[in-house]
Amino acid sequence: MTDMLHSLHAGEEKRLHRFFHRRLKNRDDVADATQETFLRMLEASHATLIENPQAYLFQVARSVARVILTRQTREQAMFAPDDAGMEEPDEFPLPDRIVNARQCLLIMAKAIEVLPTRCQQVFILSRLRGLSNGEIAAELGISRNMVEKHIIKALLHCRKVRAEIFF
């Protein structure tokens, strides 16, 4: 992580949490949005000269919040109770879609397996077991900052692999 991003993380993480909490109201979404914001900042810092990091951080945060709120709205509409047609089950996925999904899942599992051991442990505890960063830090005896660094590293790796799969 660059020095600029490290100091931003140390100085602005709590404000960023409050920012997301006011908008998203869900603790899990707040943690995910905070990580996504710092992940985007990390990606941007490699390609862009950021003159005002704090302002840029909160601009990125607004964008992340918009994306999450849009997703939540779509999910609410998708999962809204609809009595019509609920008597009959939906069609089963076609066999080729099942095979394709399983192949993608195997590729992603292998991508996670090649991560360094500690990074892999943190990512699994976070994404598969749903533990908070604080819980992971306590369980593994590392700092929350290290937990976040491992998650960011794993997410970047998984994004890269996912982009290769779908493009």
- Condensed to tens digits (0 to 9), the pLDDT of residues 85-97 reads 455 545 667 787 7
Q: Give mean pLDDT, residues 51-65.
A: 90
List of residues 6+ apart from 87 with CB closer than 8 A:
none
pLDDT at residue 136 above 70? yes
Question: 37, 23 in Cβ contact below 8 A?
Answer: no
What whole-number distance in Å separates Cα of residue 82 and Cα of residue 77?
Answer: 10
What whole-number distance in Å separates Cα of residue 70 and Cα of residue 72?
Answer: 5
| CA gyration radius, the chain | 19
Q: Give the pTM.
A: 0.49
Burial of 13 (0-12, 13-18, 19+ CB in 10 A): middle
pLDDT at 81: 55
What whole-number distance in Å separates Cα of residue 61 and Cα of residue 126?
Answer: 21
Q: How confident is the model at residue 135 (pLDDT cuts 50, 70, 90)?
A: very high
pLDDT at 147: 93
Question: 33, 61 in Cβ contact below 8 A?
Answer: yes
Tokens found for residue 27: 């603790």
Tens-place pLDDT, residues 99-123: 888 888 899 899 999 999 999 999 9
**Selected residue with higher pLDDT from 19 and 46:** 19
Tens-place pLDDT, residues 142-162: 999 999 999 999 989 988 888
pLDDT at 159: 87
